[in-house]
Amino acid sequence: MLDEKSEREVVLKKILNDPIFSTGGPYQQLLQYLFKCYQENHLPTETEIAINVFDKKEDFNPFEDTLVRVNFYRLRKKLDEYYNGPGKDDSIRLVIPKGHHTIEFTANSSSTIQWITKVSLQKVIIISTFLFLLIIGLYLWSQNRELKKTLIAQNNFASKNIIWSDFVNSDLKISIVIGELFSFYINKEEYNHEWLIRDDQINSYEELHSFIEEKGLDQSNIYLPGWDIIPKSSASNLLNLYNVLGGSNSKLEVKITSEVTLENIRENNIIYIGHFHNLKHLINYLPNKIFNPSTKYIPNKRHPERHIRVTAAGIDTLYQVIFQYDQIAALNSDYVLVSKVPGPNDNIFLFIVSFLPLGRLETIKMLTHYNLYSQLISEIQLISEKITPFFELLIEVKGYEEKGFESRVKHFFPLP
C-alpha cells in the first residue's frame, strides 16, 4: 500500500504523462515546481514562480506583468480539461485553489457545487456579461419598430429644447460616456479568501499604485481583473438617450470614461452619465464653484456619508444622500447635477452626475420624454427668471432601490 507522499507523486506523474500536459506549454514545469513547493510546505510568490519557472529576472514586477496569472489561468483550464476527460474517474484530484499559487489534493466528487467552485471568476464574468448583452440586444431588437415610429416625433422634440437642440443640430460626433466603476482584487491568504474592491478614492491604475506604495502593501496580492464594472442601469440610460438622439445627423458612439481621449474632448460633443467619483479627467470641464459634492467615511458605518453643498448668490445649503434599509419604508434619496457647458473647441459637454443609479435613471427619463420634460421646464421657470443654453441644475430624486417615486428641482443657475 502506498503512503501519502508516494500516492501524491503517482497522481502528479499520471497528470504529467497525459497528452494534455505532455505536448507544449510550460505546464509540466509549472506543476513540478508547485509540487516541489507543496512537499517543502512553501507558499511561492508570483515573483519566485516567474524566476524559477519562466526564467524571469529578479526585478520582475507581477503588478505590471500578468505572465504568472495568465499561465495559472491556463493551467487551471488544462486541469479542468483533464478531469473532464481522462482523469474523470481518478480517486484523488490535484487542484489549484482560486487566487492561490499552491496545489492541493482532494477526494474526487461529482457534485455540482464543487464543479461550480472550480470555474474561474473571470469565466463567470464573461458568461454573465455575454448573457446580459444578449438580453439587452434582444430587447432592443424587439423595440425597434416602436423606436422607428417615435423617432420623428422625438427628433422634433429634441431639436427645439435647451438640452438637446445643440446636440442634434450639430455636425459633430456625440460621445456618450459611461462612468465605469474601477475595481481590483485583494487576495488574503491567511483568510483563504479573495475580495473584489471598489473604492471611491481609487479610480485609476495610477491611484491604485500610489495607494499601495503609501500603505506599504504587498502588491503581489493585489491585481487588476482586466475589466471594469459597468453599472447595469447604463442599458436603460442608453436606450432613453438613443430615443432622443438617434435621429440626429451626428454619429453616436459609446465609451467608458477611461477610453476618452484628448481628441474626443476637443472634437466631439460629450454626454457623461455616471457617479461623481468616476469622472476621471473629465472633471476638469465640470464647473464646481456652485455645487460641491463630497464623500465622508465614518468608521463602522455601512456606507459613507455623501453630501452636496450649494453655494451661490447668497445660498449656502447642504443636502445629504440618505440610505434607508427598513424593508417597509426604504425610501432613499439621491441628488443629480445636470450641467451643460461649452467645450474647449466650439463643442458642448452635458454632465448628468449623481451618487446613485436611482437619480440618473429618473433624471434621464425626465430629460428625454416630452411630457416629463415639459413638467421639468415648468418647475425651473418657478425658480429662475430665464433659462439659458448653458446652466447648472440640481434635482432631488426619492425612490426605492432604482425606482424613482418623486423628483423635485432644487436649484437652477444660468451660466454665461
pLDDT digit string (tens) for 236-268? Answer: 888 888 888 875 555 888 988 888 888 999 999
| Count of domains observed in the chain | 3
Does residue 404 lie in a domain region? yes
Q: So what's the pLDDT on residue 114?
A: 45
**Is 23 found in the same domain as 88?**
yes
Does residue 344 lie in a domain region? yes
Does residue 82 lie in a domain region? yes
What the block records as the C-alpha cell of 104 is 492541493
Mean pLDDT of the chain: 81
Write the burial class of residue 408 (CB in 10 Å: 0-12 exposed, 13-18 middle, 19+ buried): exposed
**Is 161 found in the same domain as 199?**
no
**Is 246 found in the same domain as 371?**
yes
Does residue 128 lie in a domain region? no
Annotate 103-118 with DSSP letters as a single string: -EEEE----HHHHHHH
Q: What is the mean predicted confidence (pLDDT) over 315-338?
A: 78
Taking only the tens place, the pLDDT of each residue in 71-108 is 888 888 888 888 888 888 888 889 888 878 888 888 87
3-class secondary-structure state, position 270 = strand
**Is 188 found in the same domain as 75?**
no
Which residue segment(s) compose the domain that 259 sits in?
Answer: 148-180+230-414
**Is 54 found in the same domain as 19?**
yes
Does residue 334 register a pLDDT over 80? yes
Q: So what's the pLDDT on residue 8?
A: 85
Q: So what's the pLDDT on residue 183?
A: 80
**Is 295 found in the same domain as 214?**
no
Question: Phi, psi at residue 383, to the nearest 5°?
Answer: -120, -5
The total of other beta-carbon atoms located within 10 Å of residue 107's CB is 8
Strands 174-178 and 252-256 turn out to be parallel
Q: What is the mean predicted confidence (pLDDT) over 152-162?
A: 67
**Is 293 found in the same domain as 157?**
yes
Q: CA torsion, points 235, 238, 244, 249, in degrees to nearest 10? A: -140
Burial 306-330 (b: 16+ CB within 10 A, else e): bbbebeeeeeeeebebebeeeeeee
**Is 96 found in the same domain as 194?**
no
Does residue 199 lie in a domain region? yes
- How far is Cα 179 from Cα 273, in angstroms, rounded to an integer? 6
- Cell 432613453, residue located: 240
3-class secondary-structure state, position 248 = coil
In Å, how far from its chain's centre is CA 380? 33
- How far is Cα 328 from Cα 102, in angstroms, rounded to an integer? 47
Write the burial class of residue 270 (CB in 10 Å: 0-12 exposed, 13-18 middle, 19+ buried): buried
82-89 long-range contacts, CB within 8 A, separation 24+: 82/15, 82/18, 82/20, 82/21, 85/20, 86/18, 86/20, 87/14, 87/15, 87/18
Q: So what's the pLDDT on residue 113?
A: 41
Q: So what's the pLDDT on residue 116?
A: 41
Residue at a domain's end among 73, 102, 119 = 119
Residue type, 294: S
Q: What is the mean predicted confidence (pLDDT) over 22-34?
A: 82
- How far is Cα 163 from Cα 390, in angstroms, rounded to an integer? 9
